[in-house]
Amino acid sequence: MSNDPEAVQLLSNTAVLLLDVHLSPSMMPPTLWQFVNLFDFLFETLGMRLGWIRSVDGYPGDQSVADFLGVAGLPAGFCCYELALLSGRKQLAEVTS
Amino acid sequence: MLRASPPPPARWRAKEPSWWGPTNWRDAWRDSHAETAEKTRLYSGVRKWTSVLLGEPKTSIWWHDGTLPKAQARENGKTERLACPNRPKATQQGMDHPRCIMRWPAACTAYAFGIGDRASGGWENAWGLPIDAVEHGCRVHAYDPTVKLRSRHVNRAQKVWPHGNVSFHYAGLGNGVHVNSSKNSYGKIDVTTLATFAELVRTNPASERVPGVLQIGELASNMHALVPVPCLLPPSLGVPSQIAKGANGAPLSR
């Protein structure tokens, strides 16, 4: 989506975006590149802001986090985070043109 | 838009020592600097966004109203942060997610990718967004490419919403370039149904193409659709092996 101008335009009209982010090694976690660029895209490019975050325990086998996240300080004990992002305040003209 | 990744310095490592000259040294030096700069950006980005997930005080700027919600203690000793005044107290974890939406868009169309099948909470748990969205007057398009869930989802949508408020589509999010995986948490997916977000939206009536509310579940398997990995990125920067190969298993060409 982030490299498709049409998708970016659609997302810019989205009022509420609900995401279920899996961060456990047993649940196909994002790569370092994906994790950073996902958040950069949502918060900085689209200008979205958090409505809420909820941690999800998951099954016991899914409660560790990917190495690069653990090193950055994210604790084990949760498999996932549910995020709600609310519509951005940034004008998207420059990214959709 | 995503920034372009630098060329991989690995291409220089394959050269014989006798091949090197002043220009090549300069170019390799430049590429190595670019790669290091990109890694620095990524690792500082991880710290930045992890601090948001942790609810550190300095991250209040990333919240909708500029205020960091108080951490709420849960029964098992863990905490969570919710700016969710409407949250019902009696529901199971996971079921009340869409119910935190304080203001539903007018003339709402909701898109839900990755319906799945939750082990707990019954079918209402997996279909949480469609249920709440219909209650708030939204037209809903729900997607799931999981093979074994297809008939169950089709029947569910027809039985629960006979008036057509919810359309189930046997399809999933793709990035239009390569397939990330042929499985998700629920089993095998039909990769022939994968299409980009814009392509899937385009198949719906014109009046239903603005996703006022969008849910992307199973983000693990949908991540490649949100932030496609450039094929030029070297494995050292974290490209999963299954992405670094094409759909037929062949390495992607540069």
Maximal CA-CA distance, chain A? 46
| ipTM score of complex | 0.88
* Chain A residues touching B78 at Cβ < 8 A: 55, 57, 77-78
* Chain A residues touching B210 at Cβ < 8 A: 10, 13
Each of the 254 residues of chain B gets a pLDDT tens digit; together they read 455 554 556 667 777 777 777 777 788 888 888 889 999 999 999 999 999 998 888 999 999 888 887 777 666 656 666 656 555 554 445 445 666 676 788 889 999 998 887 666 678 878 888 998 998 899 999 999 999 999 999 999 999 999 889 999 999 988 766 566 676 667 788 888 889 899 999 999 999 999 999 999 866 556 666 766 543 333 333 333 333 333 333 332 22
Contact B46 A4 (CB under 8 A): no
Phi, psi of B123 (to 5 degrees): -65, -25
Cα distance between residue B225 and residue B219, in whole Å: 9
Cα distance between residue A89 and residue A49, in whole Å: 9
Model pLDDT, residue B229: 53
Contact A15 B105 (CB under 8 A): yes
Kindly state the average pLDDT of the residues A26-47: 90
Listed by start position, the domains of chain A span 5-96
Task: Name the pLDDT band for A49 (thresholds 50, 70, 90).
Answer: very high
Q: Please count the residues of chain B.
A: 254
Contact B93 A13 (CB under 8 A): no
How far apart are the CA of B81 and the nearest CA of chain A, in angstroms?
Answer: 6
* Residue A57 CB-half CA count within 13 A: 10
Contact A19 B229 (CB under 8 A): no
Contact A33 B223 (CB under 8 A): no
Cα distance between residue B252 and residue B160, in whole Å: 44
Three-class SS of chain A? CCCCHHHHHHHHCCCEEEEEEECCHHHCCCCHHHHHHHHHHHHHHCCCEEEEEEEECCCHHHCCCCHHHHHCCCCCCCCEEEEEEECCCCCCHHHHC
Which residue among A1, A10, A49 sits closest to B64, beta carbon to beta carbon? A49
Task: Name the pLDDT band for A25 (thresholds 50, 70, 90).
Answer: confident
Two structure tokens written together for B92 = 């199971």
Q: What is the pTM of this model?
A: 0.79
| Cβ pairs bridging A and B (under 8 Å) | 188
How far apart are the CA of B248 and the nearest CA of chain A, in angstroms?
Answer: 20
The three-class DSSP label of residue B118 is coil
Cα distance between residue B178 and residue B194, in whole Å: 10
Helical pair B219-226 and A32-39, crossing angle rounded to 10 deg: 70
* Residue A20 contacts B where some CB pair is shorter than 8 Å: yes
Model pLDDT, residue B9: 65
Residue of chain B with shortest Cα separation from A17:
B214
Q: Residue A4: which of A48, A49, A41 has the closest Cα?
A: A41
Model pLDDT, residue B58: 92
Residue of chain A with shortest Cα separation from B173:
A1
